[in-house]
Structure 1
């Protein structure tokens, strides 16, 4: 086997369209993270209910569950770049509605949930298309590094977004929504300028076989199924981030700015690890390192759940974020490089359901469990569940545990 090539930053960005793709994704992520702080704080401020925070995740997840199959089909049939641009414009209009209603003091929980459903519909079609950009821009042997670079920028936005959201919210929710709206529009413009030659789309009639193609492909590939389902259950159970508004207000007593710091802490850890992986990619034992990172994720979740000190909580969230990004890089590389381009949209859409289940549905699960058992018990039990899942998946998916070099992947038989 040839050694893993580690390209410089200049070598990576020479590929046409890479900068525009990264800028568009980073800016839309920045807007989304900023928006999440404003909505989370405003919902809890209006309702004072942990369950209401869970319903925020459910409102985002519901469209994903309903539209995933047609979204994947459209991604493999039509121009993916154009789909992303339209979706970003819809998200910008959602921001306009939130800003207008908030400015006129007419924003209610039910209206917020309605806007989130519309927002979730747009994200459902955007994400599977957006996830195919990198693999069509950079060559295969550079893909792990490009993924790490993309993750670095994503985590930077995840770090800045909550902090920006907390600061802006201090000046008013309407200002926060206006800034998010502008960011979504700029992301749409950047995406529209991406320069890469779209792959030839073959005629693909709308049929049950084609709609279910992504599901069949994933379930016939043990390494892909194991990686995706590991993330699903680990993050679904370890949903500490959904409880951050409660921790900020009732446990750590640090206010909306503190909430922004807490939300950004995991991104700081993730950014440091992702930046390191850009220069020093995982060369061997990628599967084992992914499982270790999930175990660390679970342990950090438990300690965070028990913490009443904001400094310790920030450190735990940073460790949690750093561990998570290792799993993200390994999983993303596995999916992108083991999936044919003509199937990539449908596979990415199904993967999006797993991610959405672990994030949005995880928020709902955490909210309901916190309502019943209290936020601390909810977070601690989730961390314990994550550790159990990691050990169980090592046994159930031995081929995933044995993955070695990411740039020498061979399809499962």
Structure 2
């Protein structure tokens, strides 16, 4: 008997998992250095609040192309081969890493270059999210999909730990090294995606592309379980996200510099990874909805405490706790969304989910930057955590379907559900 969890016994899923891990390490190594360079360059000519505003703009620049392209990217993930889309966007991200490598190595890195690459990364994310999100359910049997989601999250969170740490360490050695590492890892990810064979899936029903795009959004609106899960993540993380403020805390509040920024950025992913590993071995089975809502409340509380903390170690502990709570919620939410969505809709539903995640992340960074410019970083972060708790309680009332969800079992699977690749494939 194999020692690996069931999803990793499937060769196609193994290749997908390695690609996800390599891509995440590369992305996170880039993101932490981009944020640091934007803030550091800005601080040479601006005060703390004005430089924090620049961090907010970086989030907005990444979000705008994703917002514009989401209807198209979701339709493409349902209409075209998801493997081809994933490969193309990984190669685009590799190009972004090479541009930043050349600019940093050549000494001409600047705010316009960083903002331009951020926009290209937004385009890549617009297409990567739906394609990769909709691909995973095609690689494993339905009954082990929650395990596969947990393992996929483990790859992402492990990369989110290793990426910032490697990015910070390599940046201290030579500023261009993080981008060199990212370029290589994106190449590894692309090679792994070429190992995935053709996917068994449900073809898209005939119709105009515009009508098919609208149908995807209409499905999300009709399915209250999916709508509630997506919008909960949108508003909770939009209000309670702290990522954009980490350079501010590292440089000016906790005063730990670039060396201390890496552990701060990795702490949420460490907590999330431990949670994801646990669920990949011991899937959650009972009262999943109530537990998801409780986890988001913990996320908000940990965010608020982090906001007012002046202790480096307490701050790391709160970041690890909010990461664990977020992963607890993500695991349940993504399982509910995937299991309540027919395969032919998964690309468009994943696009809506990606848009919500990006809105909560990139617009959350914009909200953090603008709020910090207005209120100061400490007040903005603490108030955001409290607001996330209020939103969660409100959603428990507005969407009782979430609160009442007892398990991942779907009594009447959507008739359009695709035939998944068997475990022996």
Q: How high is the TM-score relative to the length of structure 1?
A: 0.95
Q: How far does residue 204 in structure 1 lie from its aligned partner after superposition?
A: 4.4
Q: 1:361 maps to which residue?
A: 363
Confirm whether residue 195 of structure 1 aligns to residue 190 of structure 2. Answer: no
Q: How far does residue 296 in structure 1 lie from its aligned partner after superposition?
A: 0.2
SS of structure 2 residue aligned to 1:173? coil
Q: 2:327 maps to which residue?
A: 325
Q: How far does residue 266 in structure 1 lie from its aligned partner after superposition?
A: 0.6
Whole-angstrom CA distance in 2 between matches of 1:246 and 1:411: 47
Which ranges of structure 2 fall in alignment gaps of 5 or more residues? 44-50, 415-425
Q: 1:3 maps to which residue?
A: none
Whole-angstrom CA distance in 1 between matches of 2:148 and 2:91: 26
Per-residue CA deviation, residues 41-75 of structure 1 (Å, 9 max, x unaligned), is: 00000002001111111111111011000111111
Report if aligned partners of 1:155, 1:271 keep a CA contact under 8 Å in 2.
yes
Confirm whether residue 36 of structure 1 aligns to residue 38 of structure 2. Answer: no
Per-residue CA deviation, residues 173-219 of structure 1 (Å, 9 max, x unaligned), is: 21111111111111111111113534253464544321112210011
Q: 1:217 to 1:318 in 2, by over 3 A?
A: same
Q: How far does residue 10 in structure 1 lie from its aligned partner after superposition?
A: 4.5
Q: 2:312 maps to which residue?
A: 310
Whole-angstrom CA distance in 1 between matches of 2:80 and 2:198: 15
**What is the RMSD computed on CA atoms of the aligned residues?**
1.5
Counting only pairs closer than 5 Å after superposition, residues 2-401 of structure 1 correspond to structure 2 as: 9-48=4-43, 49-199=51-201, 201-202=203-204, 204-401=206-403
Number of equivalences: 406
Whole-angstrom CA distance in 1 between matches of 2:268 and 2:328: 13
Q: How far does residue 410 in structure 1 lie from its aligned partner after superposition?
A: 4.7
Q: 1:200 to 1:221 in 2, by over 3 A?
A: closer
Q: How far does residue 110 in structure 1 lie from its aligned partner after superposition?
A: 1.2
Whole-angstrom CA distance in 2 between matches of 1:321 and 1:277: 14
Q: How far does residue 122 in structure 1 lie from its aligned partner after superposition?
A: 1.5
Whole-angstrom CA distance in 2 between matches of 1:411 and 1:65: 30
Q: How far does residue 112 in structure 1 lie from its aligned partner after superposition?
A: 0.9
Q: 1:16 to 1:220 in 2, by over 3 A?
A: same
Per-residue CA deviation, residues 82-128 of structure 1 (Å, 9 max, x unaligned), is: 11101111110111111111111111111111111112112211110
Report if aligned partners of 2:240, 2:384 keep a CA contact under 8 Å in 1.
yes
Whole-angstrom CA distance in 1 between matches of 2:7 and 2:102: 41
SS of structure 2 residue aligned to 1:42? helix
Report if aligned partners of 2:6, 2:144 keep a CA contact under 8 Å in 1.
no
Whole-angstrom CA distance in 2 between matches of 1:167 and 1:92: 20
Whole-angstrom CA distance in 2 between matches of 1:312 and 1:35: 26
Q: How high is the TM-score relative to the length of structure 2?
A: 0.93
Q: 1:310 to 1:214 in 2, by over 3 A?
A: same
Q: How far does residue 334 in structure 1 lie from its aligned partner after superposition?
A: 1.2
Per-residue CA deviation, residues 337-391 of structure 1 (Å, 9 max, x unaligned), is: 1111111111111111101100011000100000111000010010010010010
Whole-angstrom CA distance in 2 between matches of 1:290 and 1:402: 11
Whole-angstrom CA distance in 2 between matches of 1:154 and 1:61: 20
Q: 1:4 maps to which residue?
A: none
Q: How far does residue 12 in structure 1 lie from its aligned partner after superposition?
A: 2.5
SS of structure 1 residue aligned to 2:109? coil
